[in-house]
Amino acid sequence: MSGKLIMRDRCFQWGQQTYLMGVVNVTPDSFSDGGEFNNTTAALAQAQAMVAAGADIIDVGGQSTRPGAAQISLAEELDRVVSVLQELRPVISVPISVDTTRAAVARAAVAVGADLINDISGGTFDTAMLPTVASLNVPIVLMHIRGNPQTMQQQTDYQDLMGEINSFLAKQIAAAIVVGVDPDKIIIDPGIGFAKNYEQNLEIFRHLRLLAALNCPILVGASRKSFIGRIINQPEPKERVWGTAAACCAAIFNGADILRVHDVKEMHDVSLVADAIFRQQAQH
């Protein structure tokens, strides 16, 4: 992927380097750090540490999307997200993304300084999302999913995994463009762990390049996920840093532009070395 995107005076030059999106979950129940950053002071400290460690984007989420996670009320999600953004925005220099599937949250978040919307449903859960993003003129991450976090692990029966991910994303890209979203502001995500079983997650890494045909930057979120835990026999998500590093390397070598990660300092080193080996060669 070539081309560029400007957010908050920062220029993201696709294909030149790997960008890191640091995760700040302001939820009591996220799978790997739930309850740790769900007050504004802790979230701010976490975000500042991530920027210092090399995060290019901070991703704030008020609704857990782990398998089986219960949906919270709109009021609760708004309260969590807006209160944290009001603390973060004056002191965080990098673009801030908001992980939400609700148009009302997207609108409120952008009003208090969010730069990017990260929608795990690819704009399918809330029919107002794509028109809202178009009217706000902000970039959006469209992720592939089937079902929702309560039901997705029962929906892993694919005839052609990569073909179906590709066609879902192509359809959502087209739907976004039709309602006025700028094509240069669309980022895609294959949705590792979302309605994908163990083998399917690995297959996505092997065949990630097939998504390059969609001509959008590719975001991969593999950080600390259960497929890594299964490979290294590690039930504790925080102990999956080395496994995450290997997955991040694989993602970069297969065309990822952005990595969504919890361990920014470590993955910054991983991406610098992978970029030096792989992208410099690609550029020559």
CA–CA separation, 15 and 2 (whole Å): 5
Question: How many residues would you count in the chain?
Answer: 284
Residue-wise DSSP of 196-255: --HHHHHHHHHTGGGGGGG-S-BEE--TT-HHHHHHHT---GGG-HHHHHHHHHHHHHTT
**Tell me, what DSSP letter sits at residue 123?**
T
Q: How many distinct helices (H) and strands (E) make up the chain?
A: 9, 10
Q: How far is CA 107 from the centre of its chain?
A: 18
* 225 in catalytic set: yes
Q: Taking a C-beta distance cutoff of 8 angstroms, is the pair 185, 142 a contact? A: no
Side-chain-facing half-sphere of 165: CA atoms under 13 Å = 30
User: Which residue in 146, 196, 224, 225 is the catalytic one?
Assistant: 225
- List of residues 6+ apart from 102 with CB closer than 8 A: 74, 77, 125, 126, 129
The burial class, CB within 10 Å (0-12 / 13-18 / 19+), for 132 is: buried
CA–CA separation, 197 and 98 (whole Å): 26
User: Which residue in 209, 260, 265, 279 is the catalytic one?
Assistant: 260
Greatest CA span in the chain, whole angstroms?
51
Residues annotated catalytic, as ranges:
225, 260
